[in-house]
């Protein structure tokens, strides 16, 4: 049976019970900290992590890098993370046949920090950011924390973006920032490059930046929006090593953009924000990109296998370009609990009639499919 992990330091129990002596901002008092339930369950398919830990060779090289920098930890890290940014540019250039250099890349502690820096530089009081929802909730959360007005535009049929209405809302609302996640979390939906180009043009007309969040891009067959940056300098692409590189614990995200947009990141970053350890570990992981991308291919083929298996047991699954997908359920809350009873944790993302599952190892996926099949069978005999 699933055991809850001990309460974390975010003091969840205190939410809404703030003492009078604490001068917390009024607009934060009713908020809850972000976080998926962390339960101690055998099969955890709820946070879109990559299930494959680093290989033995990679662990050895990571250890080597740590012991090398260990002797130099009295010194601050390279403040501008130049070597890491150069290697990230090289990685992107290899994938997308582009010509970026370190000046086109910003690196930070996870793409969440990148997104926060984008808000600090281009959002804030009196400005608006717009997003197509359902999508990654941190865009909205960081808007709130930075005092940026959030405009939510509902996605259309099959969670795709309705371009006509998107363009007219952008023209009417004139936001400073427009967020587009592709493949989208939690729906897995891919927005084709031709549509991104059209959205970018609408943004240019009102002086907005288009931020394309490509956290799951390596799992998709669609070309990356980085290929549009040379023609559309107000398009910024945010990516992460958390998913494809299976490096979520190391916290490395990055932005690919025109050099002037990257220069603006320097105005809002904290000095020495990216530790020597983080930079060194990321460089080692980048040198293993071929090995790590082989696992991405395996996960993408597992996604197809899982969706086919679900089809066979009569569960509709939504097409996805990421390492997760949505599946349908008449009663998602009940099914979530039933799967948990079988030791499988998926995510109830709050979408009516849907749950989200992350693609795990083939064995984990088999356990999920078996648990779902047995829940289906029980509900049909009820």
Ligand X SMILES: Cc1ncc(COP(=O)(O)O)c(C=O)c1O
User: Can you tell me whether residue 345 is helix, strand or coil?
Assistant: strand
Per-residue x/- track, 205-234, ligand X (CB under 6 A): --------x-x-------------------
Q: How far is the CB of 215 from ligand X (least distance, A)?
A: 4
CA distance 204 to 153: 18
Q: How far is the CB of 246 from ligand X (least distance, A)?
A: 11
The answer to whether 247 contacts ligand X (rule: CB under 6 A) is no
Q: How far is the CB of 291 from ligand X (least distance, A)?
A: 20
User: Can you tell me whether residue 12 is helix, strand or coil?
Assistant: helix
For ligand X, which stretch binds (CB under 6 A), given 84-92, 107-115, 142-150, 187-195? Answer: 107-115
DSSP 288-338: THHHHHHHHHHHHHHHHHHHHHHHHTT--B---SSSEEEEE-SSHHHHHHH
Q: How far is the CB of 138 from ligand X (least distance, A)?
A: 6
CA distances from 143 to 101, 139, 235, 297, 359 (A): 29, 6, 18, 34, 30
User: Can you tell me whether residue 358 is helix, strand or coil?
Assistant: strand
The answer to whether 134 contacts ligand X (rule: CB under 6 A) is no
Retrieve residue 96's tokens: 């997308």
- Which residues, 6+ apart, have CB-to-CB distance to 344 below 8 Å? 41, 42, 43, 45, 367, 368, 371
Among 50, 148, 242, 295, binds ligand X (CB under 6 A): 242
CA distance 260 to 7: 43
For ligand X, which stretch binds (CB under 6 A), given 22-30, 38-46, 104-112, 306-314? Answer: 104-112
Q: How far is the CB of 13 from ligand X (least distance, A)?
A: 25
- Which residues, 6+ apart, have CB-to-CB distance to 240 below 8 Å? 110, 111, 215, 252, 253, 254
Q: Which is nearer to ligand X, 211 or 339 (CB)?
A: 211
**Contacts to ligand X from residues 46-75, by CB under 6 A:** 48
Among 91, 119, 132, 136, binds ligand X (CB under 6 A): 136
Pairing of strands 354-358, 324-328: antiparallel
Neighbours of 97 (CB within 10 A): 10
Q: Which is nearer to ligand X, 214 or 338 (CB)?
A: 214
User: Can you tell me whether residue 58 is helix, strand or coil?
Assistant: helix
Which stretch of DSSP H or E encloses residue 178? strand 177-181
Per-residue x/- track, 285-314, ligand X (CB under 6 A): ------------------------------
Q: How far is the CB of 21 from ligand X (least distance, A)?
A: 33
Residue tagged 């941190």 (tokens)? 138
Backbone angles phi, psi at 238, to 5 degrees: -105, 130
Q: Which is nearer to ligand X, 62 or 241 (CB)?
A: 241
Tell me the residue number closest to ligand X, measured at CB.
110
Q: How far is the CB of 207 from ligand X (least distance, A)?
A: 24
Among 46, 104, 112, 224, binds ligand X (CB under 6 A): 112
Q: How far is the CB of 248 from ligand X (least distance, A)?
A: 5
CA distance 341 to 371: 9
Q: Which is nearer to ligand X, 102 or 213 (CB)?
A: 213
Per-residue x/- track, 322-351, ligand X (CB under 6 A): ------------------------------
The answer to whether 188 contacts ligand X (rule: CB under 6 A) is no
Q: Which residues bind ligand X (CB under 6 A)?
A: 48, 110-112, 136, 181, 185, 213, 215, 240, 242, 248, 253
């Amino acid at each position: 049976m699933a055991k809850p992990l001990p309460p974390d330091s975010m003091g969840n129990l205190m939410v809404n019970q703030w003492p009078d002596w604490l001068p917390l901002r009024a607009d934060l008092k009713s908020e809850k900290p972000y976080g998926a339930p962390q339960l101690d369950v055998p099969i955890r398919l709820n946070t879109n992590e990559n299930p494959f830990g680093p290989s033995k060779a990679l662990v050895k090289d990571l250890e080597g890098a740590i012991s090398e920098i260990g002797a130099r930890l009295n010194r601050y890290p390279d403040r501008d993370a130049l070597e890491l940014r150069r290697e990230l540019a090289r990685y992107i250039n290899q994938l997308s046949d582009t010509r970026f250099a370190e000046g086109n890349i910003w690196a930070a502690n996870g793409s969440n920090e990148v997104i926060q820096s984008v808000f600090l530089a281009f959002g804030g009081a009196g400005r608006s950011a717009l997003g197509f929802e359902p999508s990654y909730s941190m865009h909205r959360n960081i808007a709130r924390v930075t005092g940026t007005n959030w405009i939510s535009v509902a996605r259309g049929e099959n969670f795709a973006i309705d371009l006509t209405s998107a363009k007219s809302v952008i023209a009417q609302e004139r936001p400073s920032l427009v967020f587009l996640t592709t493949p989208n979390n939690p729906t897995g939906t891919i927005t084709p490059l031709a549509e991104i180009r059209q959205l970018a043009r609408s943004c240019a007309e009102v002086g907005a930046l288009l931020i394309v969040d490509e956290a799951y891009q390596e799992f998709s067959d669609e070309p990356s929006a980085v290929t549009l940056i040379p023609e559309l300098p107000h398009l910024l692409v945010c990516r992460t090593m958390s998913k494809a590189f299976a490096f979520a614990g190391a916290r490395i995200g990055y932005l690919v953009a025109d050099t002037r947009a990257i220069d603006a990141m320097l105005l809002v970053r904290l000095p020495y924000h990216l530790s020597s350890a983080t930079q060194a570990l990321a460089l080692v992981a980048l040198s293993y990109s071929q090995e790590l991308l082989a696992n991405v291919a395996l996960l993408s083929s597992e996604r197809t296998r899982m969706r086919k298996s679900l089809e066979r047991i009569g569960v509709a699954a939504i097409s996805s370009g990421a390492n997760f997908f949505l599946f349908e359920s008449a009663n998602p809350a009940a099914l979530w609990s039933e799967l948990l009873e079988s030791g499988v944790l998926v995510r109830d993302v709050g979408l009516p009639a849907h749950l989200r599952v992350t693609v795990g190892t083939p064995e984990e996926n088999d356990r999920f499919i078996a648990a779902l099949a047995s829940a289906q069978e029980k509900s049909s005999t009820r």
